[in-house]
Structure 1
Amino acid sequence: MEFSGSEPQTDLQFALLVCASHHVMHVAISIVYGAGLLS
């Protein structure tokens, strides 16, 4: 079985992964920046 990478399911999962990781990174940076301001 070959995975061409052009399957909608794979693309959707990849898009969700990128969106989630970007959101988590943004939240983490915001928390660190906020903690830096408070300290």
Structure 2
Amino acid sequence: MAYSHGECQGAPATVPEPTTVFGLLAVAALTATSALGSRE
């Protein structure tokens, strides 16, 4: 059940999936870029 997402690297369940991490980083980067672009 824990490996339903194809995680075959033996990563702990407490570590978020790379997809989620990159997704959050992408959203944060876009938000920061938009905020900085609007202020300039």
Interval of TM-score (by shorter of Structure 1 and Structure 2): 0.5 to 0.7
The runs of at least 4 consecutive aligned structure 1 residues that moved more than 2 Å come to none
**Runs of at least 5 residues in structure 1 that lack an aligned partner in the other structure:** 1-6
Give me the TM-score of the superposition, normalised by structure 1: 0.64
Q: Output the aligned Cα RMSD.
A: 2.7
Give me the TM-score of the superposition, normalised by structure 2: 0.63
Structure with the higher fraction of residues in helix conformation: 1
Structure with more relative contact order (C-alpha pairs < 8 Å, separation 6 or more): 2
Q: How many residues end up aligned between the 2 structures? A: 31
